A and B are shown apart, each in its own frame.
Chain A
Amino acid sequence: GAGVSQSPSNKVTEKGKDVELRCDPISGHTALYWYRQSLGQGLEFLIYFQGNSAPDKSGLPSDRFSAERTGGSVSTLTIQRTQQEDSAVYLCASSAYTVGEQYFGPGTRLTVT
């Protein structure tokens, strides 16, 4: 079946602009995570959705970052007033239950110029 998909695969934007990154999880997966990974670095947790519960936003680096998950499926990560330090690969993952195996999407490579 279809895996996790993300769009766009690459995004180049100017400093100060807003961007939206999209994640389509595997159908039926209740848990959805967003991470970011800078070049040569580990995964940085951003936000976690589990079913209808309030999301765990503890990893969001600033109030310029927000995310929503509509209808328990598709999720959008929004970065407002982008900065150069926001440049990274943004990865989305979904799992069938809270602490199960995560399936990752291919990521969105964001470059802020």
Chain B
Amino acid sequence: RKEVEQDPGPFNVPEGATVAFNCTYSNSASQSFFWYRQDCRKEPKLLMSVYSSGNEDGRFTAQLNRASQYISLLIRDSKLSDSATYLCVVTTGKLIFGQGTTLQVKP
């Protein structure tokens, strides 16, 4: 079983839609959690950290469920510019990346 698992997608949604991604992790001792974004043929960049109480940054909301060992990312009012691959990252001594979920927002 992979340490961090994501549905690879692709998720194809119209502009303005709300979309949610989930990510599960296997190590209950994992300490920190992040979402990164990777545009085509570019390097990954931090989108947001994920806190135990959940956190929001504009149209983006991240949540953590330690009991079920998953984290989620919700994107509201999708924009064309949100099209990218979203990487779930879990730290257990070192950072472990998921395979990513691809989002394609259509006009």
Contact = CB atoms under 8 A, between A and B. Distances in A.
B99 interface: yes
Given A91-B43, A104-B44, A105-B43, A42 B95 contact: no
Interface string A89-103: 001000100110110
Contact of B98 (A42, A56, A98): A42
B28 to A, nearest CB: 16
Interface residues of A, number: 18
A31 to B, nearest CB: 8
Interface string B73-107: 00000000000000100010111111110000000
Interface in A29-52: 33, 35, 41-43, 45, 48
Interface in A1-48: 33, 35, 41-43, 45, 48
Contact of B97 (A42, A56, A98, A106): A42
A99 to B, nearest CB: 4
B91 A99 contact: yes
Give the size category of B's interface with A.
10 to 19
A56 B34 contact: no
A46 B41 CA distance: 20
Contact of B43 (A42, A95, A98, A106): A106
B44 A43 contact: yes
A33 to B, nearest CB: 7
A98 B99 contact: no
B31 A99 contact: yes
Interface string B13-44: 00000000000000000011010000000111
Nearest to A105: B43
A105 B42 CA distance: 9
13 contacts: A33-B95, A41-B99, A42-B87, A42-B99, A42-B100, A43-B44, A45-B96, A45-B97, A99-B93, A99-B94, A99-B95, A101-B34, A106-B42
